């Protein structure tokens, strides 16, 4: 059991925790959530003993082994599988001792212990983990130095998963995984038999892999059992209840103060006024819990253009005259919402750059409207910001003739207040840099918005704000993301980038994830290369097959069917979420009305108010259930006809 008791900790005079406490039961998988900057990573460093507390204590069982991923695996000559095997220090030490031990009793003890820790299946387990994270058998035998930093981070993750620490600490592990790896990790963590603390903004991982949520807010820790969605519902109810109680107390204070002000100097009422004044002094203030609203994203509406917006005909694209993708026959129109899926190294970023005009085709033709504007957010653009320059200077470079007040208004709309708009970009958080690049990508009201891993540096609330903005945006969206929730909420078409081809996928994200788990779970992971696209270009391309055109405008009935089915699934999910919220509110009121003394005669106002609210909720819940039934029937009919 992990106990955090009255933890207080400050950095450079800024308090991160003040008398924060929480208890994590042994064997639980816990997601750590909170706005960027609340101290999630700092908490990990405190747990590992790297930073000293100002006050309080953290209790960890004495024999607990703590493991985490702090840096990438070294660029050594050791193979990937041997690097992972070396993470189990006890196994390595026992095998080394077995070679030199001469005492028969000690030798027996060594081999008994090797059997106990399942040492002889270790290589198979290590290979299985590496396979799940995207390394095939050939890649596992290659030395670490042949892989880029991002891939060595995966090796480091594989090593800590293989070592099976008693307390596993993971800080945003999906940020350096593709969607395939993220799906595999979700399943692995759900079955992990020891305690896990995982900092994550990946809503799906927090819904599928954890049994509790540790929430960091207002320098405190709050532990909730259940998934992220359950936590979110409970937290919202708690906020609303606390705000309601604070409003009631304020009204009561005003009423008492009004009596005191009227009668404190009147002799016949002075004693009553004095009594009420003491009542005011004893009344403990109820603070209305609130969370600062997340700044919205805004994507301006482009003017309409006649279809198609962009057409690829028999296109090959790659690097150094070596194609990564071939025979592309693709078409983009104004209403397209497309997610590009596939393992890293297959060419998703290459295709994105081709659409954006950052890469020119090696052969074939690209036809597009002369007035077409394209906005591009690339996952590595964070490194392209100019050091020493402020957000204002970056925007000014794009709009040199625009008035300073208008430029600052643009940045204000993107979430940059006066305190940070003139700060150099190196002082911005990852989320603020992402917001700046998003604002720069959308400044010309693009007809096509291409987003390559846009959520890596955004917290959950900001990701939801991005979902709302993209759903309101009236242009075309091309999305590459390991965030399944984002893909489900935005895309109505799934394109698979694999083996040098691009093909449509006729299922939904659930179908795609089942397929991934089946393939990687069986050890049939697809070959991965060092890096995403540039390393892919350096490998032999002879094995790649010909292109395949996804269902586009030439197959509009199928496309329309998928769009309709996707929308119907979204309707079902929306109805289910509304029913859950209404049912939770109804249960909360019912619990309040069930308290002893609630129906006392002096509580008539509360009885009438809550009874009215309960009746309204029951009516709303009945209507929501009818809507859900209708949505389910429509979905079933669409799937039967599809």
Say if residue 415 is in the same domain as residue 490: yes
In which band, very low, low, confident or very high, does the pLDDT at 121 lie, cut at 50, 70 and 90?
confident
Structural domain total, the chain: 3
- Is 80 exceeded by the pLDDT of residue 522? no
Three-class SS of 41-96: HHHHHHHCCCCCCCEEEEECCCCCCEEECCCCCCCCCCEHHHHHHCCCHHHHHHHH
Q: Kindly state whether residue 587 falls inside one of the protein's structural domains.
A: no
Which helix (H) or strand (E) element contains residue 267? none
For the segment 247-258, what is each residue's pLDDT rounded down to a tens digit?
Answer: 776 776 776 777
Please tell me the predicted confidence (pLDDT) of residue 382. 60
Pick the closest to residue 326 from 345, 347, 296, 303 (CA basis).
347
Please tell me the predicted confidence (pLDDT) of residue 233. 85
Of 175-179, 564-568, 634-638, give the lowest mean pLDDT range.
Answer: 564-568
- Domain that residue 466 falls in: 310-543
Please tell me the predicted confidence (pLDDT) of residue 246. 66
- Is 70 exceeded by the pLDDT of residue 537? no
**Burial class of residue 148, CB neighbours in 10 A (0-12, 13-18, 19+):** middle
Say if residue 90 is in the same domain as residue 188: no
- Is 80 exceeded by the pLDDT of residue 371? yes
Which helix (H) or strand (E) element contains residue 208? helix 203-208
Last residue of a domain, one of 164, 189, 218: 164
Pick the closest to residue 547 from 368, 371, 312 (CA basis).
312
- Is 90 exceeded by the pLDDT of residue 352? yes
In which band, very low, low, confident or very high, does the pLDDT at 328 lie, cut at 50, 70 and 90?
very high
Q: Kindly state whether residue 333 falls inside one of the protein's structural domains.
A: yes
**Residue 164 in tokens:** 């099976």
Say if residue 355 is in the same domain as residue 490: yes
Q: Kindly state whether residue 183 falls inside one of the protein's structural domains.
A: yes
Say if residue 519 is in the same domain as residue 532: yes
Percent of the chain predicted with pLDDT > 70: 83
**Burial class of residue 591, CB neighbours in 10 A (0-12, 13-18, 19+):** exposed
Highest mean pLDDT among 262-271, 413-422, 500-509: 500-509
Classify residue 476 by its DSSP letter.
Answer: E
DSSP alpha helix (H) spans, 420-555: 430-441, 460-472, 484-490, 509-521, 534-538
CB 532 within 8 A of CB 345: yes
Say if residue 448 is in the same domain as residue 323: yes
- Is 80 exceeded by the pLDDT of residue 61? yes
Last residue of a domain, one of 107, 136, 164: 164
Please tell me the predicted confidence (pLDDT) of residue 641. 64
Please tell me the predicted confidence (pLDDT) of residue 107. 85
CA distance to 144, 304, 306, 307, 323, per residue, from 369 (Å): 46, 11, 8, 9, 25
In which band, very low, low, confident or very high, does the pLDDT at 280 lie, cut at 50, 70 and 90?
low
Query: Can you tell me which residue has the tokens 């409970």?
Result: 234
- Is 80 exceeded by the pLDDT of residue 598? no
Say if residue 439 is in the same domain as residue 537: yes
Summary mean pLDDT of the chain: 81
Cα–Cα distance, 212 to 400 (Å, whole number): 50
DSSP alpha helix (H) spans, 86-178: 89-100, 104-116, 122-132, 137-140, 149-163
- Is 70 exceeded by the pLDDT of residue 548? no
Cα–Cα distance, 63 to 83 (Å, whole number): 25
**Residue 641 in tokens:** 């006809």
Last residue of a domain, one of 527, 543, 559: 543
Q: Kindly state whether residue 9 falls inside one of the protein's structural domains.
A: yes
Local structure of 533: helix, strand or coil = coil
Q: Kindly state whether residue 586 falls inside one of the protein's structural domains.
A: no
CB 8 within 8 A of CB 53: yes
- Is 70 exceeded by the pLDDT of residue 533? no
Of 104-108, 254-258, 283-287, give the lowest mean pLDDT range.
Answer: 283-287
Say if residue 113 is in the same domain as residue 50: no
In which band, very low, low, confident or very high, does the pLDDT at 71 lie, cut at 50, 70 and 90?
confident
Local structure of 5: helix, strand or coil = strand
φ, ψ for residue 580, nearest 5 deg: -60, -45
Cα–Cα distance, 630 to 176 (Å, whole number): 41
Please tell me the predicted confidence (pLDDT) of residue 634. 76
For the segment 165-187, what is each residue's pLDDT rounded down to a tens digit?
Answer: 999 999 999 888 888 888 889 98
Cα–Cα distance, 450 to 441 (Å, whole number): 9
- Is 60 exceeded by the pLDDT of residue 599? yes
Say if residue 453 is in the same domain as residue 475: yes
Q: Kindly state whether residue 290 falls inside one of the protein's structural domains.
A: no
Average pLDDT score over residue span 207-213: 92
CA 448 to chain centroid: 24
Query: Can you tell me which residue has the tokens 């992402």?
Result: 434
Please tell me the predicted confidence (pLDDT) of residue 273. 66
Q: Kindly state whether residue 31 falls inside one of the protein's structural domains.
A: yes
Please tell me the predicted confidence (pLDDT) of residue 161. 93
CA 403 to chain centroid: 37
Residues 6+ apart with CB under 8 A from 82: none
**Residue 138 in tokens:** 């050939």
In which band, very low, low, confident or very high, does the pLDDT at 640 lie, cut at 50, 70 and 90?
low
Pick the closest to residue 153 from 127, 172, 179 (CA basis).
172
Residues 6+ apart with CB under 8 A from 460: 33, 201, 203, 228
Say if residue 83 is in the same domain as residue 189: no
- Is 60 exceeded by the pLDDT of residue 389? yes
Of 147-156, 352-361, 473-482, 510-519, give the lowest mean pLDDT range.
Answer: 510-519
- Is 50 exceeded by the pLDDT of residue 285? yes
Cα–Cα distance, 172 to 202 (Å, whole number): 8
Q: What is the CATH number of the domain that holds 458?
A: 3.40.50.300
For the segment 600-613, what is each residue's pLDDT rounded down to a tens digit?
Answer: 667 777 777 777 77
Say if residue 388 is in the same domain as residue 318: yes
- Is 50 exceeded by the pLDDT of residue 523? no
CB 194 within 8 A of CB 165: yes
Say if residue 107 is in the same domain as residue 222: no
Cα–Cα distance, 32 to 196 (Å, whole number): 10
Say if residue 420 is in the same domain as residue 505: yes
Please tell me the predicted confidence (pLDDT) of residue 159. 92
Q: Kindly state whether residue 511 falls inside one of the protein's structural domains.
A: yes
For the segment 215-244, what is each residue's pLDDT rounded down to a tens digit?
Answer: 998 889 999 999 988 988 888 777 776 666
Query: Can you tell me which residue has the tokens 């993971």?
Result: 170
Of 290-299, 437-446, 503-512, give the lowest mean pLDDT range.
Answer: 290-299
């Amino acid at each position: 059991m992990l106990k955090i008791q009255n933890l207080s900790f400050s950095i450079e005079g800024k308090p991160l925790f003040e008398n924060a406490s929480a208890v994590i039961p042994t064997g639980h998988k816990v997601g750590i959530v909170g706005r960027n900057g609340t101290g999630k990573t700092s908490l990990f460093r405190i747990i590992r003993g790297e930073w000293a507390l100002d006050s309080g204590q953290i209790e960890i069982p004495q024999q607990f082994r703590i493991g985490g991923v702090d840096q990438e695996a070294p660029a050594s000559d050791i193979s990937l599988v041997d690097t992972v095997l070396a993470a189990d220090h006890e196994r390595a030490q026992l095998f080394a001792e077995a070679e030199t031990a001469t005492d028969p009793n000690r030798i027996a003890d060594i081999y008994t212990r090797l059997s106990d820790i399942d040492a002889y299946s270790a290589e198979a387990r290590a290979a299985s983990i590496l396979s799940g994270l995207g390394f095939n058998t050939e890649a596992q035998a290659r030395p670490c130095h042949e892989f880029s930093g991002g891939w060595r981070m995966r090796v480091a993750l594989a090593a800590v998963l293989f070592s099976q620490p008693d307390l596993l600490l993971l800080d945003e592990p999906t940020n350096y995984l593709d969607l395939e790896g993220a799906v595999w990790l979700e399943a692995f963590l759900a079955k992990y038999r020891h305690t896990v603390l995982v900092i994550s903004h990946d809503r799906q991982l927090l819904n599928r892999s954890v049994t509790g949520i540790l929430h960091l807010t207002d320098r405190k820790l709050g532990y909730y059992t259940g998934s992220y969605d359950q936590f979110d519902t409970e937290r919202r109810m708690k906020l609303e209840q606390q705000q309601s109680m604070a409003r009631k107390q304020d009204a009561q204070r005003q009423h008492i103060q009004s009596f005191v002000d009227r009668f404190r100097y009147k002799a016949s009422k002075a004693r009553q006024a004095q009594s009420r004044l003491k009542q005011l002094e004893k009344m403990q203030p109820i603070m209305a819990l609130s969370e600062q609203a997340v700044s919205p994203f805004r994507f301006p509406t482009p003017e309409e253009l006649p279809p198609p917006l962009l057409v690829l005909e028999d296109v090959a694209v790659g690097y150094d005259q070596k194609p990564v993708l071939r025979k592309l026959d693709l078409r983009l129109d104004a209403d397209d919402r497309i997610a590009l899926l596939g393992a890293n190294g297959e060419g998703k970023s290459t295709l994105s750059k081709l659409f954006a005009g950052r890469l020119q085709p090696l052969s074939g033709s690209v036809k597009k409207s002369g007035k077409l504007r394209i906005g591009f957010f690339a996952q590595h653009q964070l490194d392209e910001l100019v050091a020493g320059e402020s957000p204002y200077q970056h925007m000014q470079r794009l709009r040199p003739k625009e008035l300073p007040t208008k430029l600052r208004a643009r940045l204000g709309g993107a979430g940059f207040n006066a305190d940070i708009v003139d700060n150099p970009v190196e002082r911005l958080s990852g989320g603020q840099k992402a917001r700046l690049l998003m604002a720069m990508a959308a400044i010309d009201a693009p007809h096509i918005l291409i987003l390559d891993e846009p959520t890596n540096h955004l917290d959950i609330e900001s990701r939801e704000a991005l979902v709302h903005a993209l759903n309101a945006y009236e242009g075309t969206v091309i999305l590459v993301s390991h965030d399944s929730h984002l893909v489900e909420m935005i895309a109505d078409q799934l394109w698979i980038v694999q083996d040098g081809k691009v093909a449509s996928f006729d299922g939904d994200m659930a179908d795609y994830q089942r397929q991934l788990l089946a393939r990687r779970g069986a050890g049939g992971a697809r070959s991965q290369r060092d890096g995403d696209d540039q390393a892919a270009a350096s490998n032999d391309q002879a094995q790649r097959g010909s292109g395949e055109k996804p269902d586009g405008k030439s197959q509009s009935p199928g496309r329309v069917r998928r769009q309709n089915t996707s929308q119907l699934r979204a309707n079902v999910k929306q109805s289910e979420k509304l029913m859950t919220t209404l049912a939770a509110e109804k249960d909360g009121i019912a619990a309040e009305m069930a308290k002893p003394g609630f129906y006392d005669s002096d509580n008539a106002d509360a009885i009438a108010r809550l009874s009215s609210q309960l009746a309204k909720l029951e009516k709303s819940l009945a209507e929501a259930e009818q809507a859900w039934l209708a949505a389910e029937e429509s979905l079933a009919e669409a799937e039967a006809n599809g």
